[in-house]
Amino acid sequence: MILLLANALASTPVLLWDLEQDDGEFSAAGELGQWRWGAATSGPGAGYDGAHAWAIGLNSSYLNDATEYLEVPLPDLSAVGQPVLSFAHWYGFGAGDEGYVELEDGTGWRCAQPVYGYPVGLSWNGNSAGWELVSVALPATATVRLRLVFVANDEGVGTGWFIDQVGVWDGDVTAPRVSSLTTLPDTEDLTGPFEVSAEIEDDTGVDVVTLLWTTDRGGAGSTPMTGGADGSWEGTVPAAPVDTEVEYHVVATDGANSVRYPAVGELAFRVYLPAPTALSGPAGRVVATEAALTWTAPTSIHTLQGYEVWRDGASIAETTLPEALVPLHGTGDTFSVRARYDVGVGDPSDSVTIEAVVPSLLSVDPGTAYAGESLWVDVIGRDGRFVSQEIELDFGAGSDVESIVVQNVDRLRVEVRFEADAVAGARDVVLSSGVGTLTLADAFTVLASSQRPRVLSLTPQRVTQGDNGTLTISLSAAPAAVPEVSLGDGVVVERVELDGSTLSVQYAVAIRAPLGEHEVLVDDGVRLLVGPPLEVRDWTPAPIDSCASVAALPGAALVALAAALVRRRRAPTCRS
């Protein structure tokens, strides 16, 4: 313990030695002559208030197995009413080594007890807590002598014993000594107050003890402590808001001298609400848009209402369960969790950092469609890792994704059909896959069907099985490139030529092409335009009156007639 003398109003200096300019004419004696005066470079590295001091081990560790003496030259004290010797000392003794004070007033040398006694037994041993102030009551005689005795055994050495700022006083120069002060623990108590007790003694009696405190929120205060009959003093620190650190100390005075405890710094405690523990998330590098966090609920005297999830210093989610699915922004997202109580929000948990590659959608092309049409849309992402079996796409109400073709890990080609009554306007494109759900906000716009590109006409609208020729398709707008044309099962498109917004389609109808209406599709690489249906009719041969008439038919007609007759499993009859 360090006792700091703040004032000595009731005392008068008789003789002082600061030991800075000279050795004060102290007398050193002993077996090895180890008491030396000078600049201290060992132990504390300096004197109490300057460079110089008397010391055992002034510049290096002392020698063992020796007894050494340092006598202070006291004046005639017969006229001094209350003589007291004071000095500052610093010590570091080896095991079994010690130091103490001796007095001689005509009856031989005897051990003298300092005010408040020695720490243990009848000597100082072990190590001091820095520089300490000591006072020793002296007899008011003319011939009193005082010396400091150092004793080292033969089992090892220590740092040494350093003496500085020696003085003889008339009156009380000893400040009260605080031997203990309550160390308040961190607490969840928001109502307080917090009781503090101290054990304080003084050679003349403690007059006033004051408890002082400050908070890291700018609060401060003090209150007198009560008690004193048995050396016990009591006081209280008031309640503080949650997440507040309170620092406190005491000052004790005997009316002439005062002491602060702790001498340096403060005792402190914190008012808090406990944090969740064991926060964890996925380990390693992950490719995902979100991650699952889990944690352990805290134990508290207060009612737990839920949790707040924080990312990089900002609250992003609330939950009542000890788990959450959180969105990821990219490499190095740092998360923590706070508990919400009926009295406030608690401390943040230890944080967890998730190293993530976050997939995203970059664009869709084209970004518009007309109500009532089907079209191909290219969807482009980044770090998507697209896999065909995992992909689902949604273009909003009134749309239907007909097919999805994964072109590579970051690119899709999608066939989308919009209902005729699909509502016009901007809408989100939402992609779900094995790495999560990706949304491209307002990325696609549905336009009114009145301006939709379409097939205006089809000429001719009827063809016959076994027929071939040219079909003219008129479009409402010229396509950017020659489109693909489909005329249905059994009708082969041999060539397509483009002239502005008109298509010339060379076709051939199979002899067994399905009869009836065929769907006409014009695919310009973006849109699928549906035209008026193409009707395929049955081929019917002209009536045959005689075998000769059959023989007279042209060769091509004969082939077609023969195929038709075989197909229908009937044959004409010749009349004689």
Chain centroid to CA 299: 21
Could you list the residue range(s) of the whole structural domain that residue 403 is in? Answer: 363-450
Residue 329 is predicted with a pLDDT of: 86
What pLDDT does 5 receive?
36
Both 149 and 40 in a single domain? yes
- Domain endpoint, select from 171, 189, 206: 171
Q: Domain boundary residue among 271, 286, 312?
A: 271
Q: Is the domain of 165 the same as that of 32?
A: yes
421 and 519 co-located in one domain: no
**Under 8 Å between Cβ of 300 and 339:** yes
Closest CA to 204 of 378, 122, 82: 82
More confident residue, 551 or 196: 196
Residue 542 confidence class, pLDDT cut points 50, 70, 90: low
Is the pLDDT at 407 greater than 80? The verdict is yes
Q: Where are the beta strands (DSSP E) in 388-515?
A: 392-394, 399-408, 411-418, 425-433, 436-447, 455-459, 462-464, 468-475, 484-486, 491-499, 502-509
* 300 close to 338: Cβ distance less than 8 angstroms: no
Closest by Cα among 208, 111, 203, 105 to 151: 111
What pLDDT, on the 0 to 100 scale, is given for residue 556?
42
* Half-sphere exposure of residue 279: CA atoms within 13 angstroms, side-chain side: 24
Backbone angles phi, psi at 393, to 5 degrees: -130, 145
Task: Tell me what pLDDT residue 540 has.
Answer: 78
pLDDT of residue 562: 43
| Residue 96, token pair as written in the block | 């079994």
Domain match, 188 and 326 both? no
Instruction: Select, from the ranges 380-394, 442-456, 488-502, the one with the highest average predicted confidence (pLDDT).
Output: 488-502
Would you call 388 helix, strand, or coil by DSSP? helix
Q: What's the pLDDT score for residue 480?
A: 86
Burial class of residue 18 in the structure, from the number of CB atoms within 10 Å of its CB (0-12 exposed, 13-18 middle, 19+ buried) = middle
Quote the pLDDT of residue 565: 42
Q: How confident is the model at residue 384, as a pLDDT?
A: 82
Tell me which long-range contacts 225-231 makes (C-beta under 8 A, separation of at least 24).
225/196, 225/198, 225/250, 228/200, 231/199, 231/200, 231/201, 231/206
Residue-wise pLDDT for 316-332, tens only, equals: 999 999 999 999 888 78
Q: Is the pLDDT of residue 570 over 80?
A: no
Checking if the pLDDT of 166 tops 70, the result is yes
Average pLDDT, stretch 256-279? 95
Q: What is the DSSP letter of 556?
A: H
DSSP letter at 566 equals: H
Higher pLDDT pick, 545 / 208: 208
Please indicate, yes or no, whether residues 190 and 155 belong to a single structural domain of this protein: no
Whether residue 337 is contained in a domain is answered as yes
Q: What is the pTM of this model?
A: 0.63
Within this chain, do residues 74 and 93 fall inside the same structural domain, yes or no?
A: yes
Residue 390 backbone phi and psi in degrees, to 5: -100, -5
301 in the same domain as 220: no
Statement to judge: residues 35 and 165 lie in one domain = yes
Domain end call among 292, 327, 357:
357
Q: Please state, in angstroms and rounded to a whole number, the distance separating the CA atoms of residues 568 and 541.
A: 12
pLDDT (average), residues 390-408 = 94
pLDDT at 504: 97
Q: What is the secondary structure of 147-210 as a DSSP string?
A: EEEEEE-SS---SEEEEEEEEEEEE--PPPEEEEE--PPPB--SS--EEEEEEEE-SS---EEE
Report yes or no on 346 lying in a domain: yes
pLDDT value for 530: 87
Question: d(Cα 249, Cα 266) in Å, to the nearest integer?
Answer: 6
Please tell me whether residues 227 and 338 are part of one structural domain: no
385 shares a domain with 439: yes
Residue 1 maps to a domain = no
Encode 409-433: b = buried (16+ Cβ within 10 Å), e = exposed: ebebebbbbbeeebeeeebebbbeb
pLDDT computed for residue 557 by the predictor: 44
* Residue 3 belongs to a domain: no
Phi, psi of 447 (to 5 degrees): -100, 160
Q: Could you report the per-residue pLDDT of 347-393, keeping only the tens digit for each?
A: 999 999 999 888 889 999 999 999 998 999 999 998 888 887 789 99
- The reported pLDDT for the residue numbered 544 is 57
CATH code (residue 105): 2.60.120.260
What's the whole-number average pLDDT of the chain? Answer: 90
Q: How confident is the model at residue 137 (pLDDT cuts 50, 70, 90)?
A: very high
